[in-house]
Structures are given as C-alpha cells and as structure tokens.
C-alpha cells in the first residue's frame, strides 16, 4: 500500500465566499439536451464501464498532439495507446443521492483497482502507456495519484468548461453546491497517470482482495 488513506478530499470547502454571479453553466431547461448529447458522445467514443456498476468508463484511443512527459519518466508519444477515463454520470447521481460523497469515493477507488488489474494483465504491446481524463474534479484525481495539468484557454475549451459545469450541477447535489462557492469560475484540468504508477498505487487492492 502507498500510505494513502480513504479520507475523502474536501472539494467544496465551507467558509469559502460565495461566487458573485461569475459562474456560467447551461440553464437547467437545457438538461434534456445535455442528456442526449452525453448519450450520443458515449456511444460515439465507444466508452465501456471498467467493471459492473462502475462509475468510471474507459475509452482506448491513440494519443495525438505533443509528447507528454510524466513525473515518473513515462513519455506518451503521438500514436501511443492511452486510456481515456470518463464518469458515468447516471451512476454518479445514484451514488451521491444520499448527500454523501463516500459511496462514490469508494466506488471510484475500486474501479481504479479493477483497471490496474486489467492493465497489469495485458501484454505490453496492447497495454495503454498511460491513462488520462479531463474535468473539474482535480482534487479527487490528485488524491488518487494523477498528475494535474492546466489546459490552454481556447474557445473550444471554454465551451467544454461551460459543458462540464453543467454536468456538475445536473448530476450531483454536491456539484451544484460546489458551483456556488469560490472566488473564480471552475476550469477543467487534464489528469494523467502512467500505467506503471496506476498499477503501483492501486494494484495492492486487487492483491489484498
């Protein structure tokens, strides 16, 4: 084990001043449209759950763009196989319906352990070099071993941020509350973890049952 605990990170600290109208997110009347976009996007990308009832989904794809060098020395080059992680937002809503983040946190840690076992069992030639995601949950991603990287503020990524904030408000009571606190708008980050680091951090859960 890596010395991590199961303490849930505080991603919406109390006592932080409420925002002063600076948040932009889709209006709730757009919820049906947002739901349709999400369903179409998941089918188009070929996203599959990591395990039964998972909150995390996995998409295999080839890396495009510049090489990415991670802290452990892993270099992700154009054309390398990577795993792209996506939340199952319907499952997230089920897990957070009680008002507590604990069930989602436990489920997510278990999903990462299942992914570590899957990764370790694949031949090196067909194993993703690294796993990545992007979104507004940087505190959680960092807590489970991912590296956070800021995204450039292009018009497309500004639109993505708007969409992500809508997902956060729509699928979780806690997410809606999170948008009401803080001094500035939330912007998405990229999250990266190498296959070796994933297996080192989360593989113990499989080994210990």
Residue 32 lies in a domain: yes
Check residue 177 and give its pLDDT: 59
Q: What is the pLDDT of residues 168-193, one digit of tens each?
A: 766 665 655 555 555 556 778 899 99
Who's near 138: CB < 8 A, 6+ residues apart? 148, 189, 191
List the domain range (segments joined by +) for residue 92.
Answer: 28-207
- How many structural domains comprise the chain? 1
Q: Read off the CATH number of the domain in which 193 is found.
A: 3.40.630
Instruction: Report how far apart, in Å, the C-alpha atoms of 70 and of each of 76, 109, 145, 173 are.
Output: 8, 21, 12, 34
Check residue 36 and give its pLDDT: 77
Check residue 181 and give its pLDDT: 58
Residue 5 lies in a domain: no
Check residue 159 and give its pLDDT: 79
Residue 16 lies in a domain: no
d(CA 199, CA 167): 29
Check residue 63 and give its pLDDT: 97
Check residue 99 and give its pLDDT: 80
d(CA 159, CA 168): 14
Check residue 142 and give its pLDDT: 94
Check residue 85 and give its pLDDT: 96
Torsion, CA 5, CA 8, CA 9, CA 15, rounded to 10: -140
Q: What is the DSSP letter of 151?
A: P
What is the rounded radius of gyration, in angstroms, for the C-alpha atoms of the chain?
Answer: 17
Residue 111 lies in a domain: yes
142 in Cβ contact with 192 (< 8 Å): no
Residue 22 lies in a domain: no
d(CA 58, CA 145): 17
Which position has the token pair 């009832």? 53
* SS3 state of residue 29: helix
d(CA 34, CA 31): 5
Extract the residue ranges of the chain whose pLDDT is less than 50. Answer: 1-22, 207-209
Check residue 33 and give its pLDDT: 73
Residue 88 lies in a domain: yes
Check residue 207 and give its pLDDT: 42
Residue 71 lies in a domain: yes
């Amino acid at each position: 084990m890596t010395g991590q605990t199961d303490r849930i990170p505080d991603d919406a600290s109390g006592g932080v001043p409420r925002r002063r109208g600076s948040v932009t997110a889709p209006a709730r009347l757009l919820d049906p449209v947002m739901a349709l976009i999400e369903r179409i996007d998941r089918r188009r990308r070929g996203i599959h759950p990591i395990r039964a009832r998972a909150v995390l989904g996995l998409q295999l794809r080839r890396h495009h763009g510049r090489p990415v060098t991670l802290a452990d020395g892993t270099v992700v080059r154009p054309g390398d196989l990577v795993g792209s992680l996506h939340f199952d937002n319907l499952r997230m809503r089920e897990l957070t319906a009680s008002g507590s983040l604990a069930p989602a946190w436990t489920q997510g840690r278990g999903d990462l352990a299942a992914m570590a076992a899957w990764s370790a069992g694949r031949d090196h030639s067909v194993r993703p070099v690294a796993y990545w995601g992007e979104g507004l949950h940087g505190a959680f991603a960092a807590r489970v071993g991912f590296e956070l990287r800021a995204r450039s503020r292009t018009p497309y990524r500004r639109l993505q941020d708007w969409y992500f904030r809508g997902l956060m408000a729509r699928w979780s009571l806690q997410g809606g509350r999170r948008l009401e606190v803080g001094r500035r708008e939330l912007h998405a980050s990229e999250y990266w973890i190498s296959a070796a680091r994933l297996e080192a951090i989360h593989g113990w859960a499989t080994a210990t049952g």
